[in-house]
Amino acid sequence: MKFGKELASQMVPEWQEAYMDYNKLKKLLKDLMIFRQRNGFSSSPGPADRTRSLKRRLTMYRAFSGLRGSLKKNDDEVILVSSVQQEGSENYYQTMFLRSSEDGGEYELVFFRRLDDEFNKVVKFYKTKVEEVKIKAEQLSKQMDALIALRITVDKPDMEQRVEEVKVVTSGGNSSPATVIASVNGVKQGRQHMDTIHEVEMSTESTSGDEHDKNKIVKAFRPASLEVLDHVKINVDPDTPVSTLRNFIMSSKSDLSFSKEELRKAEEKLRQAFVEFYQQLRLLKSYCFLNMLAFSKIMKKYDKITSRSASRSYLEMVDKSYLGSSDEVNKLIERLEATFIKHFANGNRRKGMKSLKPGHKKERHRTTFFLGLFTGCSIALVAAIIVSIHARNLLNHEGRGQYMDNVFPLYSLFLFIVLHMLMYGANTYLWRRYRVNYPFIFGFKPGTELGFREVFLLASGLSVLALAAVLSNLDMEMDPRTESFKPFTELVPLGLVIVVLLITFCPFNIIYRSSRFFLIRSAWHCICAPLYKVTLPDFFLADQLTSQVQAFRSLQFYICYYVWGDFKRRSNTCIQSDVYKILLIVVAIIPFWARAIQCLRRWFEEKDPAQGRNCLKYFSTIVALVMRTIYDLRRGTFWKIMAASTSGVTTIYSTYWDIVIDWGLLRRDARNPWLRDKLLISNKAVYYVAIVVNIILRLAWMQLVLDFHEAPFLHRRAMVAIVACLEILRRGIWNFFRLENEHFNNVGKYRAFKSVPLPFHYEDGKIM
C-alpha cells in the first residue's frame, strides 16, 4: 500500500483537514519531476549553477531579517529553515530555498512554501490539542482527589483518625523512621482496598536513620485530603424517568451522602471518563507520529526527484519543533495508565490495559460464509414461492382475496423489517467506504458495532425464516394430507414473531447481544420520551420508526387477528369496527409524537429555536393524521379539504427540512452550486438525483393520510405494502446524507471524542 493511502486510512476522520496534505505536496513534486524530465536536467547541478546559487543565497540572506542562526559553510546547501516570530502571534517556521535562480527553481520554491504552510498548520493544531488535554488532565486529577477522599470516607471511616495519628507522629522532631513506617503501615492495614489512598512510595534502602531519609519518608506519605469533600457536589444520578421527574418537580440536592452506592456510581463515571481520555491521548499521539512520518516521506521523495540533500536539514527542524520535541502526551499516557491500573484495576496491569485498550473488531470468514449461504437460500425460497404460486394458479384462486386480507399483512411485517435492515447495511457499507465515523456518531462501544456484513447476515437470516414460513404455509394449506392441521398452519406467522422477539430479548451473549441491547435501550428511550436525555441514537431511531408506520399497523393486525378474530377459519370482523380504524391512526401517530416530544426536550435544554421548528414539523404530521381520522369518521367535503391541505403542508415542510436542514444542501453561496461546500461523493449528480427522489418518495407518504393506494391491477394490501417499501427506501437514502452532514459538522469542529459527564462538581470552580 502506498503511503498516501495508508495515511488516509489511519488518520482520524474528524481531523482530516488538520493532517498534512500529502497528496497535494506529492502533486507539486510530480509537476517538478515532469518539468525536469522535459528539460533534460542532470541528476546534479553543475559548478556554474552552484556558483550562481551561492551568490543568490547570500543576497537573500542579507535581505531577510527574520532568520535566526548563521549560514553553514557548505556549498551544497539547498535550504535554510528558521523559526520566525511575528508580533502578537506564535512562532512559525519558514524555509528559504537557496536555488531559486536555477531553471525550475520556481517549482521548488512553491513546494517549500506549501510545505511550510502544512507544517505550521500541523504544529498549531497539535499544540492546541495538547493544551486541551492538559486542561482535561487537570480536571481528571481533581476528580481523582474527590474520589479518593470519598473512598476513604465510605470504605473506612476510622481511617481519618489514623491519618491524623500519623500526622501527629510525623510532626514530632524525635520520631524515628521505624515509628513513622509503623504508623503508615497501620493506616495501610486499615484500608479495605489497595487503591483507597494516594500512592505511598517509601524507600527501604536507607537504614541509617539520618534526618534526610526521615524527611523523605514523611514527604512520600501523602494521604488524600478529606477537606476536598467540602468543596464538591456529586452528580451520579442516572438519566432515568424517575430522576427527570424529580428534578422537574423539585430542586434536587446533590450533596454527598457518603453512601457505597454513590461511591460505585462515581467510580463508574470516572472510569468511563478515563477510558475516553485515554483514547483521546492515543489518537493525538498517532496524529503526531503520522504527520512526522509524512514529512519524512515527502522530503525523501523530494531528494529523490531533485538529487539534492535537503531532507536532513528540514527533518532536523521537524525534530526540534514542538511536534517532534514535545513529550507531554507520552507523559500523560504513562500517568494515566499508572493511575488507572492502581485505582480502577487494583494494581492488575493486564486487566487495566485491557479496559483502556478496547479490542479491535475482527472480520470473521464465517460471517461471509453464512451471509452467502442465507442469501442463496433466500433466492431459492423466493423462486420456490413463485413456482408454487404459478403451478397452483393461486392468483386466480377463489381464496385469494381472503388470503390477502388476513395472511398477507402478517408476513408483510417481515418484509418491512428486512428491507429496512438491507438499507441500513448498504448505509454502513457506504459510510465505511467514504470514511464516515458512524460508530463514534452513534456512540457504539468500540469493537461492538455491526458492519455491513453482519447487518446483511441478520437480514438474510430473517428473510430465510420468513420465506420458509410463507412457503410452508402455502404447502400445508394446499396439501390435502395436512388440511386437518389448518389451525397450526395459521399459527406459523405468530410463531415466527415469537421467535424473533425471543432472539431480540435473549439475555445470553449470542447473536450480537451488545447491538441488540443498544437497540432495545434506544427504543425504550423513544417510548419514554421526554423522560430521558435525547441523544443522537435516540432521535435517529425515532426517525426510523416514523418510516415504519405500516409495520406498527401490522403488529396491531396481529392482535386483532389472533385475539379478536377467528384465525382458525381465516376471518375477522374487528377491522371493520370504528375503534380499529381510529387505532390505526393512533398507532401511526405514536412515532411522530415521540419524535416531537424529543424535539421539545432538546429545545428546552439546548435553547435552540431550530428544535422548536423541528417539533412543529412533526406536530403538523400529527395534525394531518388527525384530520384524516375525522374525515374517515364523518366524511364530507370540508373534512376532505382539511385533510388534503394539512397533508400537503406537512409534505412540503418535511421535504424542505430533509434537504435543507438534515442534509445541509441547497446552499445558495456554496462552493458546489446549490449543494454545500463539502461533499463526500465527487459526482455531484448523485446529490441532485437524491433531492429529486426524496421529493417524489415524500409524496408517497400521502397514502398514509389520503388512501392513495388503490390500483386495478393490484390488491389493496399489496399496494399499501409497496408504498410502505418506498417510504423505507426514502428513509435509507435520507440516512446516508443525514449522517454525512453530521460527519461534516464534527469535522468542522474537530469533534472526535465523546463528552463524558464527570461525577464531581467543584463549587468554587478552582483547580485544587
Could you report the per-residue pLDDT of 672-721, keeping only the tens digit for each? 989 999 999 999 999 999 999 999 998 876 665 555 555 566 788 888 89
Which residue, of 223, 247, 265, is where some domain finishes?
265
Distance CA 220, CA 201 (A): 6
| Torsion sign across C-alpha atoms 503, 505, 511, 512 | positive
Has residue 300 been placed in a domain? no
Residues 259 and 369 in one domain: no
Res 193: pLDDT: 40
Evaluate whether 340 touches 356 at the Cβ level (below 8 Å).
yes
202, HSE (Cβ side, Cα atoms, 13 Å): 19
The pLDDT confidence band at residue 565, using thresholds 50, 70 and 90, is confident
The number of helices, as runs of H, and strands, as runs of E, in the chain is 29, 4
Within 10 angstroms of residue 260's Cβ, the number of other Cβ atoms is: 9
More confident: 155 or 202: 155
Res 712: pLDDT: 61
Number of domains in the chain: 2
SS3 label, residue 40:
coil
Within 10 angstroms of residue 141's Cβ, the number of other Cβ atoms is: 13
Residue identified by cell 528540514 is 314
Tell me the mean pLDDT in the region 551-577: 83
β-pair type (232-234, 760-762): antiparallel
Residue identified by cell 436542514 is 661
Question: Chain-wide mean pLDDT for the chain?
Answer: 80
Has residue 281 been placed in a domain? no
User: Does the pTM exceed 0.85?
Assistant: no
Distance CA 2, CA 386 (A): 50
Has residue 552 been placed in a domain? no
Residue identified by cell 489518537 is 283
Res 41: pLDDT: 66
Which residues touch 312 (CB under 8 Å, ≥6 apart)?
none
Instruction: Reply yes or no on whether the pLDDT at 203 is more than 90.
Output: no
Distance CA 267, CA 156 (A): 17
Has residue 155 been placed in a domain? yes
Q: Side chain identity at 174, as an amino acid letter? A: N
Has residue 261 been placed in a domain? yes
Evaluate whether 594 touches 526 at the Cβ level (below 8 Å).
yes
Res 260: pLDDT: 82
More confident: 3 or 592: 592
Has residue 619 been placed in a domain? no
Instruction: Reply yes or no on whether the pLDDT at 70 is more than 70.
Output: no
Closest alpha carbon to 317 in 112, 479, 577 = 112
Res 695: pLDDT: 93
Q: What is the DSSP letter of 563?
A: I
761, HSE (Cβ side, Cα atoms, 13 Å): 10
In whole angstroms, how far apart are CA 121 and each of 18, 84, 92, 203, 543? Answer: 7, 15, 9, 47, 39
Evaluate whether 611 touches 602 at the Cβ level (below 8 Å).
yes
Distance CA 422, CA 121 (A): 42
Q: Of 330-334, 455-459, 481-485, 587-591, where does mean pLDDT reach its minimum?
A: 481-485
More confident: 312 or 259: 312
Evaluate whether 183 touches 164 at the Cβ level (below 8 Å).
no
Has residue 384 been placed in a domain? yes
Distance CA 413, CA 564 (A): 19
Which residue, of 265, 292, 315, is where some domain finishes?
265
Q: Residue 224's domain spans which residues?
A: 148-265
Has residue 183 been placed in a domain? yes
CA trace torsion 214, 219, 221, 227 (10° rounding): 140
Within 10 angstroms of residue 716's Cβ, the number of other Cβ atoms is: 14
Helices marked H in 11-104 — which ranges? Answer: 22-38, 47-63
Res 73: pLDDT: 40
Distance CA 523, CA 527 (A): 6
The torsion angles phi and psi of 239, rounded to 5 degrees, stand at -80, 90
